[in-house]
Amino acid sequence: MPRTRIKICGLTRPQDVRAAVELGADAIGFVFYPPSPRALSIDRAAELAALLPPFVTAVGLFVNPVREEIQAVLERVPLQLLQFHGDESEADCAGHGRPWIKAARMRPGVDLVEFSASHPHASGILVDAFVEGYGGGGKTFDWSLIPEGFGRPLVLSGGLDADNVAEAVRRLRPWAVDVSSGVESGKGIKDAARIAAFIDGVRQADG
Ligand SMILES: O=C(O)c1ccccc1NCC(=O)[C@H](O)[C@H](O)COP(=O)(O)O
């Protein structure tokens, strides 16, 4: 079984990017959603992305963007993957010259198989708890909404932290986990000790 990939999302400070990389994160998420307290300017994102060594993926998170917004970011920030976290259709996500993942906002009644079928070209499906304001809310959801043998690369997120991530990985065996609030001391301020404990939890479950 491959090791579980780890994405840390919503970083805003160089020291947090360095810490996440040194502690073993596989991917770093940059938020381009202006209402978010974790949102970055293009200049700031370019500065942070430049800190990433090879084989650590820079992910750009967007919520219902207009196409020009994405292009403006891509002209300056070397993103390798796009994350669509709003109500985007397959057509909205395609055609930006980058692979993408699509977030499903999970709550009772969401059919993940149907959702997945409506995004056939996404590299993976990220599952997050439904929250007002779209995401990064630190809220878990009912993991039984994820069907067994889902069949697509699954990125598990939503309220993960050092206390629950090992159980989540053992139970669901996702391709990757994604965390923001659970490794923060304040919105957009990451805590190296919490990142370390989170990554340790994932690795313990990987065995
Ligand atoms: O971080 C935000 O502020 C944000 C805003 C709008 C949409 C998504 C957002 N964040 C998503 C993430 O940080 C992660 O992909 C994931 O949902 C984990 O969030 P958390 O529950 O805080 O660990």
Q: What is the ipTM of this complex?
A: 0.97
| Domain tally, the chain | 1
For residue range 20-37, list pLDDT tens digits in order. 999 999 999 999 999 999
Q: What is the pTM of this model?
A: 0.97
Residue of 155, 160, 180 best suited for mutating to test ligand 1, as the one with most atoms within 8 Å of CB:
180
- What's the start-to-end Cα distance of the chain, in Å? 10
Point out the catalytic residue in the list 26, 92, 128, 161. Answer: 128
Of 83, 128, 155, best ligand 1 pocket probe by most atoms within 8 Å of the beta carbon: 128
If you measure from the C-alpha of residue 131 to the centroid of ligand 1, how many angstroms do you get, rounded to a whole number? 10
Which CATH number characterizes residue 120's domain?
3.20.20.70
- Report the nearest-CA residue for atom 2 of ligand 1: 136
Full residue range of the structural domain in which residue 95 is found: 5-206
Instruction: Kindly state if the Cβ of 136 falls inside 6 Å of ligand 1.
Output: yes
Q: How many CA atoms lie within 13 A of 59 on its CB side?
A: 23
Query: Rounded mean pLDDT of 183-191?
Result: 96
